[in-house]
Amino acid sequence: MRDVKQIHLGAHFPSMGQHVAAWLHPDAQIDAGQNVSYFMKLAQSAERACFDFVFMADAVATRDGNMDALSRWPQYMAHFEPITLMSATAAVTRHIGLVCTASTSYYEPFNVARLFGSLDHISGGRAGWNVVTTANPSASFNFGREAHYDVEERYARAREFVAVVKGLWDSWDDDAFLRDRVSGRYFHPDAVHRLDHKGQFYTVRGPINLARPPQGYPVIAQAGASEDGMDLGAETGEVIFFSQSRIEGARAFYANVKCRTGKFGRTPDDIKMMAGLNPTVGRTRAEAQDKFEQMQSLVHPDVGRELLSVELGGADLSGLDINEILPEDRVPVTTNVSRSRLKAMAEMARRENLTLKQLYERYAGTRGSYSVVGTPTDIADVMEEWVATEASDGFIIQASYLPGGFDDFATMVVPELQRRGLMRSAYSATTLRGHMGLNRPASRYAR
């Protein structure tokens, strides 16, 4: 078999699907946000397809805005807390990694260390933590604050937060627990360590009351695309999620993040770059195009405007006709939400002279990620090119609707990738680090 680079795959399962109109598809699971058996079946499908991990994003607030429009766009308005859901899913899966989000702005380091350390033990070493600083300003009102942290402070807190969590995961040596009834000693007294962290934002004594996780540290994922975000990823991330709508942009982003690792004492191989991919699969190109157009036809104009408003940092688009070009004076210069999304959206609108309708249709199912519509061969060709030319190390598969859109990918595209030798046909590792080719970190106290 020819020597080819293996493609890493994660499956993103946002309730009913990635598309803003996913819930309107007649085959979508209408109660997805409150149906635990549904998510478990999705994870089992991804495991049968030999994916590296499943991923669940999170929000610690509902979205504010035009409530009439939001009532037509239920994504993230009502859904399970992800650690609880992943812990339940660990019991019905054996191999697949379990990655979910927790905010460094609205959790405490001790809580996150216990939660994800526990998930790593429960799953036998399959946990991953997606580090986010939280873009939704509404979250602040649920945690005793009158305003969201500004962007710079959010990232400064995140760097310290991750360092504290890692320190807590090292509280106990790997061989700390004797559990020896004969000697009457449960653990080595010199194998437990207090962190005694006193920093700019956090004071945490430790130790954590949990054995060191099976992976040493659960895998750390990150998705920032701003300058601060890329630095945070290069410093702390092991799996980087990113969105690029063109391969040229993906190559540039890939190189940019990997080149930053040196200043943090790391190497480019310490990070796996995972691009968002929105596939629409058909047995023929015509069938795939029909599926794509069906989803696009379900987008309500009010939802489209609300989507653009969110992506443009709260831009006021009221009174604008959806068939007119986005006016320059409606685009904010900066935002305290996501500056990278604002920049990407504004640049796309200017570059291609898009109307509001064209712009929200572009974002309806992708959120800035690459979208490909075609046969299994078409989609495998794209994936192979991206990985072979260092545009990514793998992909986060974001099906338009669930479960059918993901099932199409798993049953049609995965066999083509396996036929080409681009992905595994069976698991050989037992941990998420093993699946991803990431080293297990030694404790800072290792003797």
Q: Is 195 helix (H, G, I), strand (E, B) or coil?
A: coil
The pLDDT of residue 1? 40
Element (H, E) at 306: helix 301-311
Lowest-pLDDT choice from 115-124, 231-240, 296-305 = 296-305
Nearest CA to 153 out of 340, 343, 336 is that of 336
Asked if 267 and 293 count as a contact pair (C-beta separation under 8 A), the reply is no
- How many percent of the chain have pLDDT more than 70? 94
- Model confidence at 42: pLDDT above 50: yes
Range name among 101-115, 244-258, 312-326 with the lowest pLDDT average: 312-326
Whether pLDDT at 161 is above 80: yes
Within a 13 Å sphere around the CA of 264, how many CA atoms are in the beta-carbon half?
20
Mean pLDDT on 94-118: 97
Regarding the domain delimited by 8-292+366-436, which CATH topology (the fold level of the hierarchy) does it fall under? Answer: TIM Barrel (3.20.20)
Phi, psi of 106 (to 5 degrees): -130, 20
Tokens for 369?
A: 């990620």
- pLDDT confidence of residue 237: 97
State the pLDDT at residue 364.
72
Q: Identify the weakest region by mean pLDDT among 124-138, 152-166, 284-298, 301-315.
A: 301-315
pLDDT value, residue 293: 95
Sign of the CA dihedral 108, 242, 310, 21?
A: negative
Whether 376 and 281 have beta carbons less than 8 Å apart is answered as yes
38 to 14, 34, 172: CA distances (angstroms)? 12, 9, 37
Q: 306 versus 315: which is more confidently predicted?
A: 306
Is pLDDT of 327 > 80? no
Poorest-pLDDT segment among 84-98, 108-122, 261-275, 300-314: 300-314
Question: If you average pLDDT over every residue of the chain, what do you get?
Answer: 92
Residue 287 pLDDT exceeds 80: yes
Q: How many CB atoms are located within 10 Å of the residue 300 CB? A: 14
Q: What is the pLDDT of residues 175-228, one digit of tens each?
A: 999 999 999 999 999 999 999 999 999 999 999 999 999 999 999 999 988 899
Residues in the chain: 447
In the chain, what percentage of residues exceed pLDDT 90?
Answer: 73
- For position 359, what pLDDT does the model report? 83
User: Is the pLDDT higher at 167 or at 321?
Assistant: 167
Question: What is the structure's pLDDT at 61?
Answer: 87
Question: What angle in degrees, to the nearest 10, is found between the helix axes of 247-260 and 376-388?
Answer: 40
Can you give the pLDDT at residue 280? 97
CA distance 44 to 29: 16
Lowest-confidence segment of 34-48, 247-261, 269-283, 356-370 by average pLDDT? 356-370
pLDDT in tens, 354-379: 788 888 888 776 777 899 999 999 99
Residue 74 has pLDDT above 90, yes or no: no
Residue 16 and residue 75 in contact, taking contact as beta carbons nearer than 8 Å = yes
Q: 3-state class of 250 per DSSP?
A: helix
Give residue 117's pLDDT: 98
- Confidence at 335, pLDDT banded by 50, 70, 90: low
Distance CA 168, CA 176 (A): 15
**395, β-bridge pairs:** 9, 275
**Dist CA 384 CA 95 (whole Å):** 24
